[in-house]
């Protein structure tokens, strides 16, 4: 079955005197949204400096990954870029603020590059992936080659890995992802 396009998911929180409870992943509820991904790996990262930027990343076929991203400490600006060759929205992106406070999650299917900018110090991000880590299929695009309006003060140089600082630009990138006909829509 085909997965849905990028989706912003806002799990319901059941509040009581102790705090709250939320289902952050349920195969039943995700299937009802058209997401039929089988997740096989969970990742967790800590980014210490504010304005750390990780991305834009993907794994190339046949090791592409659907991802379900949430921020469990602090706030991040999370971005998904359409890199499906031939897509009418190729190079366009959607973004959302994900935070420990709002509990929102972004579902990012294969064919999209993913990145996030941390908006606080000490941000922890946790995400599920549909494929195992495959370092020989690691790919990426430079964060500043698409005109993404990153929410940081003008002139700020984000904290980047050496690998991310040396990624190709979108113009240099030759996409291995086919367009599958699913539209990129604004996030709800």
Ligand X SMILES: Cc1cn([C@H]2C[C@H](O)[C@@H](COP(=O)(O)OP(=O)(O)O[C@H]3O[C@@H](C)C(=O)[C@@H](O)[C@H]3O)O2)c(=O)[nH]c1=O
DSSP-derived secondary structure for the chain:
-PPPS-EEE---EEEETTEEEE-S--HHHHHHTT------EEEEEEE-STTBEEEEEEE-TTS---EEEEEEESEEEEEEEE-EET-TTTT-EEEEEEETTT--EEEE-TTEEEEEEESSSSEEEEEEESS---GGGEEE--TTSS----SS-TT---B--HHHHTPPPTTT----EEP-S-------
**Which of positions 133-152 make contact with ligand X (CB under 6 A)?**
133
Give me the least distance between CB of 34 and ligand X, in Å please. 22
Give me the least distance between CB of 43 and ligand X, in Å please. 6
Is 161 a binding residue for ligand X by CB under 6 A? The answer is yes
The verdict on whether 25 is a catalytic residue reads no
Pick the closer one to ligand X by CB: 156 or 161: 161
Candidates 15-23, 94-102, 114-122, 146-154: pick the segment binding ligand X (CB under 6 A): 114-122
Catalytic residue among 25, 36, 127, 137: 127
**Which of positions 38-77 make contact with ligand X (CB under 6 A)?**
43, 45, 54-55, 57, 67
Binding site for ligand X (CB under 6 A): 43, 45, 54-55, 57, 67, 114-116, 133, 161, 163
């Amino acid at each position: 079955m085909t997965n849905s396009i990028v989706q912003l998911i806002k799990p319901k929180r059941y509040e009581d005197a102790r705090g709250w409870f939320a289902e952050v992943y349920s195969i039943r509820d995700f299937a009802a949204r058209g997401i039929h991904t089988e997740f096989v790996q969970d990742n967790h990262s800590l980014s210490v400096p504010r304005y750390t930027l990780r991305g834009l990343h993907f794994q190339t076929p046949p090791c592409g990954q659907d991802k379900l991203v949430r921020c469990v400490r602090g706030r991040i600006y999370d971005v998904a870029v359409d890199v499906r060759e031939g897509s009418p929205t190729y190079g366009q992106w959607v973004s959302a603020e994900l935070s420990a406070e709002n509990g929102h999650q972004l579902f990012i299917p294969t064919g999209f590059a993913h990145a996030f900018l941390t908006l606080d110090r000490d941000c922890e991000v946790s995400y599920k992936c549909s494929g195992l880590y495959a370092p020989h299929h690691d790919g990426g695009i430079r964060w500043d080659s698409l005109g993404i309006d990153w929410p940081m003060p003008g002139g700020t140089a984000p904290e980047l890995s050496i690998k991310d600082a040396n990624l190709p630009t979108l113009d240099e990138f030759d996409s291995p992802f086919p367009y599958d006909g699913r539209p990129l829509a604004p996030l709800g």
